[in-house]
A and B are shown apart, each in its own frame.
Chain A
Amino acid sequence: QVQLVQSESEMKRPGTSVKVSCKTSGYTFTKFGIIWVRQAPGQGLEWMGWINPDNGRNYLVERLQGRVALTSDTSTSTVHMELTRLTFDDTAIFYCARSGGTFWGQGTLVTVSS
């Protein structure tokens, strides 16, 4: 069955970086894009970006460009989302999902605290 399993929760200091992984299984990794969605505490869903795991081509919302990197590793069927220069406002649950939102990871809580 299709599964997306994300890395564990992280606590980070302001100004540092975090890398969240999303390991997929149960389907052909290169055939479906992966989207990333952010949800700040008590807030709605924010679509962050998309990556084509086959060739690494990706798209990020303008406000995250320059701070977020999306990468894919076909050898492990895993995509990664790295967020740099963290601020307190980056505290959120980050979700990966297969394009179309058919299957989702369980979410990774990133807490930015001094």
Chain B
Amino acid sequence: DIVMTQTPLSLSVSPGQPAVISCKSSQSIRNDDGKTLLYWFLQKPGQPPQLLIYEAFNRFSGVPDRFSGSGSGTDFTLKISRLEAEDVGLYYCLQNFQLPFTFGGGTKVEIK
């Protein structure tokens, strides 16, 4: 199985400051079409996860442009350019490349 390793476990950031989360896969998750099958989700307290980024860097519909995804190969990053109060929650990466699909362990983001 592909192991997804997220860091840090938690992050405390002042409003308006950037937040960066890392996700590393144990092997390449790029398919033959050149797409990197890495997804980012935010789970707000008491809610199901919501998709933020798909295929490593594409923002899902309605996601604010302060969220951006980058990376290639096995190293990926989610950046929140200016943290807002509504961004607190648990962030997860997911690889959709090889069955079984696997999530990272999660990163808790809170407001300082």
Contact = CB atoms under 8 A, between A and B. Distances in A.
Interface of A: 35, 37, 44-47, 49-50, 59, 61-62, 95, 97, 100-102, 104-107
The 4 closest A-B pairs by CB, nearest first: A104-B48, A44-B106, A61-B100, A45-B103
Interface of B: 39, 41, 43, 48-51, 54, 60, 90, 92, 94, 96, 99-106
Contacts of A61: 100
A47 B101 contact: yes
B99 A45 contact: no
Nearest to B48: A104
Contacts, number: 52
A106 to B, nearest CB: 6
A100 B48 contact: no
Given A47-B100, A101-B51, 6 more contacts: A45-B49, A49-B100, A95-B48, A100-B54, A100-B96, A101-B54
A36 to B, nearest CB: 11
B47 to A, nearest CB: 8
A42 B103 CA distance: 15
Contact of A101 (B39, B99, B104): B39
